[in-house]
């Protein structure tokens, strides 16, 4: 059976370019699982409520763009094949979140962030740099990032209108998946980042959330 570990550097770069296009182009990522929202009833949201929820989902969508870029960058520079495979598998699972968020944003009559290409590039660079340092650092970065994502999801769940069961179902499933990614990364050998590093990551994530909520 063929394995990507035998691909040339040029092949890998082309695959990364394809992954970037599928992440950034609207409705190009096909989910592996149906959205949790499909089994939930529609709800009547006021204009301001719909705008607020769309902003929250736009933030989460950009977060998934960053996650895709992070994993793809790490997969490009990972030293051990099993770590590379783990990064690529995680990226595949994040495709579901990307598609679910985008679909919900469109249902709310809004749009994804125009800043996504910028955040994709920054996250890809961070992921590639972490992978070049060591696989343990790379996995630790995944765990720390996913922990930050879980905190954002908890905050957003508390801010959703009680009647918006569709968005809530999506975010609750995303949180379950992200927590599992964090746990898996540590169990695979990732280091636990110290508090100052996590604090710096938190500040960067706040920049992303503040800008993409409206743009």
**Does the annotation flag 52 for ligand binding?**
no
| 15 class by beta-carbon count within 10 Å (0-12 exposed, 13-18 middle, 19+ buried) | middle
Q: Check: pTM over 0.85? Answer yes or no.
A: no
Answer whether 62's CB lies under 8 Å from 212's CB. yes
**Does the annotation flag 93 for ligand binding?**
no
**Does the annotation flag 187 for ligand binding?**
no
Structure tokens of 164?
A: 């918006």
Asked whether residue 37 carries a pLDDT value surpassing 90, the answer given is yes
Asked whether residue 155 carries a pLDDT value surpassing 70, the answer given is yes
Question: Among 64-78, 94-108, 159-173, whose mean pLDDT is lowest?
Answer: 64-78
Mean pLDDT of the chain: 82
For the beta carbon of residue 193, count every other beta carbon within 10 angstroms: 18
Asked whether residue 213 carries a pLDDT value surpassing 70, the answer given is yes
Grade residue 25 by pLDDT with cuts at 50, 70 and 90: low
Which helix (H) or strand (E) segment holds residue 214: the answer is: none
**Does the annotation flag 156 for ligand binding?**
no
pLDDT score of 14? 65
How far is the C-alpha of 148 from the C-alpha of 151, rounded, in Å?
Answer: 5
**Does the annotation flag 4 for ligand binding?**
no
Render pLDDT for 126-152 as a digit per residue (tens, 0 to 9).
888 887 888 888 888 888 888 888 988
Render pLDDT for 48-89 as a digit per residue (tens, 0 to 9).
999 999 999 999 999 888 888 887 787 777 666 766 676 667
SS3 for 99-158, per residue?
A: HHHHHHHHHCCCCCCCCHHHHHHHHHHHHHHHHHHCHHHHHHHHHHHHHHHHHHHHHHHH
* Tokens 């290409």, located at residue: 117
Answer whether 60's CB lies under 8 Å from 178's CB. no
**Does the annotation flag 88 for ligand binding?**
no
pLDDT score of 4? 43
Grade residue 169 by pLDDT with cuts at 50, 70 and 90: very high
pLDDT score of 24? 67
Of 193, 189, 7, whose CA–CA distance to 83 is shortest? 189
How far is the C-alpha of 105 from the C-alpha of 54, rounded, in Å?
Answer: 5
pLDDT score of 2? 41
The CATH number assigned to the domain with range 7-22+45-210 reads 1.20.1260.10
Q: Is the pLDDT higher at 38 or at 135?
A: 38
């Amino acid at each position: 059976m063929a394995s990507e570990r035998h691909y040339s550097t040029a092949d890998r770069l082309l695959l990364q370019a394809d992954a970037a296009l599928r992440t950034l182009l609207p409705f190009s990522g096909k989910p592996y699982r149906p959205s949790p929202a499909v089994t939930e009833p529609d709800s009547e949201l006021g204009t301001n409520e719909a705008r607020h929820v769309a902003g929250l989902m736009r933030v989460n969508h950009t977060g998934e763009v960053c996650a895709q870029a992070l994993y793809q960058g790490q997969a490009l520079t990972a030293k051990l094949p099993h770590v590379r495979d783990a990064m690529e598998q995680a990226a595949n699972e994040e495709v579901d979140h990307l598609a679910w968020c985008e679909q919900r944003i469109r249902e709310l009559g809004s749009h994804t962030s125009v800043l996504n290409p910028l955040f994709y590039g920054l996250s890809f660079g961070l992921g590639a740099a972490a992978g070049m340092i060591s696989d343990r650092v790379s996995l630790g970065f995944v765990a720390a990032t996913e922990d930050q994502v879980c905190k954002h999801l908890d905050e957003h769940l508390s801010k959703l209108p009680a009647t918006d069961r569709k968005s809530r179902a999506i975010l609750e499933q995303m949180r379950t998946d992200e927590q599992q990614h964090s746990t898996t990364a540590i169990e695979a050998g990732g280091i636990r980042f110290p508090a100052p590093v996590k604090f710096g990551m938190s500040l960067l994530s706040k920049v992303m959330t503040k800008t993409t909520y409206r743009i």
